[in-house]
């Protein structure tokens, strides 16, 4: 199992319940496929450095987790097709 970090930005024009369900959906993808979440931080609404798809603000979420590479591939696949996600970045955590 490898350590990973994912940061994603959720659109702000959806309701709070939809934001919460999006966060829970991605947590479920990690945990249901054998991964373990070590740190989860919903950083809240922040101003974007530049406009992305007509959005100037977004809800930032940072998740540190350990999982197999297949879990990361599934997570990336779902993030790619989710309408709620503006941007995402998954990196392998090589510290420690």
Where are the domains positioned within the chain?
2-92
pTM: 0.89
Residue 12: closest CA among 64, 63, 49, 54? 54
Reduce the DSSP state of residue 11 to 3 states and report it: coil
Q: Is the pLDDT of residue 81 over 90?
A: yes
Band of the pLDDT at 93, cuts 50, 70, 90?
confident
CATH topology of domain 2-92: Alpha-Beta Plaits (3.30.70)
How high is the pLDDT of residue 96?
Answer: 55
Q: Order across the sheet with 36-52: list the strands.
A: 36-52, 55-67, 2-10, 85-92
């Amino acid at each position: 199992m490898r350590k990973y970090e994912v940061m994603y930005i959720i659109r702000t024009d959806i309701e709070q319940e939809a934001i919460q369900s999006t966060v829970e959906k991605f947590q479920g993808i990690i945990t249901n496929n054998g991964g373990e979440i070590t740190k989860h931080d919903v950083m809240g609404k922040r101003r974007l450095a530049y406009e992305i798809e007509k959005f100037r603000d977004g809800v930032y979420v940072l998740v540190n987790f350990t999982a197999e590479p297949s879990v990361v591939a599934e997570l990336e696949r779902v993030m790619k097709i989710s309408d709620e996600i503006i941007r995402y970045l998954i990196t392998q955590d090589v510290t420690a």
